[in-house]
Amino acid sequence: MMLLLLVAVLLVPQATHAQDVDSATSAFDNATTLLSEGRYEEALTEYEAIRSNGVFSAALWHNMGVAHYRLDNLGQAILYFERAARMDPEHEAIAHSLRVARERQVDSFSSLPRPFWRTTQAAVLDAVPPGAWFILGLTFLYGALALFLIKVFGGVRLPLGQSIHRLLPAVGAACVFIALSSSISPPRPEAAVIVASEVTLAEQADSAAPAVQVVHEGLTVDIRARTPEWVLIQLSNGTRGWVPAVALESI
């Protein structure tokens, strides 16, 4: 059954952002033909060329995942399936490919319950993006300032009296706080996939530091901090450790 999926190759590219769409589509079709013929390395070379030209789509990521899966590069396969799923979460073929690939993972960890405030924060930011909250907050604050100046220098009596002077700044400050807090502490940390066949989590960003845990390719982790050569990751069970930056790729 695994063969069934993985080769539900997506033959039609999604919307792209390249300047020459016709050229990108032709290159995509050529790469997909190579993939269907089992010429996986050649197909990947073509797909990489398309990506280097700024073309990104769920279909491209999915087909790259299929090629890596066929070449037994499990970590890379899951990475690209994850990227495809995030671009098109409702696509059944993509979801199926990701499930099949994940069945081959070595690691399986329990998940910590998500704090309610994180869930609320994510829902709020899904409804209105951080940038919009910031602009909305500034609008309220500038509105409050304008009304204050009108009252003081224009001698105009405001319809809501003193309450509007308290309401607008409070609402504006709350909106700005939501925007800034989301940038400092995002509701969903940056995620990555382990692409090395095996890597050891260390207590510190140092190859000589004590080991914390050994994990294997294909595992999806959260990124908590970075240095030029090391990344602090967190597993789904809450375990944290440093790994070399080359051992993983961001989704």
Instruction: State the fold for domain 191-250.
Output: SH3 type barrels. (2.30.30)
77 neighbors 68 (Cβ within 8 angstroms): yes
Per-domain residue ranges for the chain?
A: 2-102, 116-184, 191-250
SS3 111: coil
Q: Nearest CA to 29 among 63, 58, 3? A: 63
How many CA atoms lie within 13 Å of 58's alpha carbon, on the beta-carbon side? 18
Q: Determine the Cα–Cα distance for residues 207 and 238; give it in Å rounded to an integer.
A: 22
The helix (run of H) or strand (run of E) holding residue 146 is helix 130-154
What is the β-pairing status of strands 240-244 and 230-234? antiparallel
Q: Determine the Cα–Cα distance for residues 226 and 161; give it in Å rounded to an integer.
A: 51
Q: What is the pLDDT of residue 127?
A: 83
Q: Nearest CA to 102 among 201, 187, 194, 8? A: 194
Q: Determine the Cα–Cα distance for residues 150 and 159; give it in Å rounded to an integer.
A: 12
2-102 maps to which CATH number? 1.25.40.10
Per-residue pLDDT of the chain (251 residues; tens, 9 = 90+): 344 445 455 544 444 444 466 678 888 999 999 999 999 999 999 999 999 888 889 999 999 999 999 999 999 999 999 999 999 999 999 999 999 999 999 998 888 777 777 778 778 887 888 899 999 999 999 888 887 787 777 666 666 556 777 788 899 999 998 888 887 777 778 999 999 999 999 999 998 999 999 999 999 999 999 999 999 999 999 999 999 999 999 99
Q: Do 2-102 and 191-250 agree at the fold level? A: no
Bridge partners for 220 per DSSP? 193
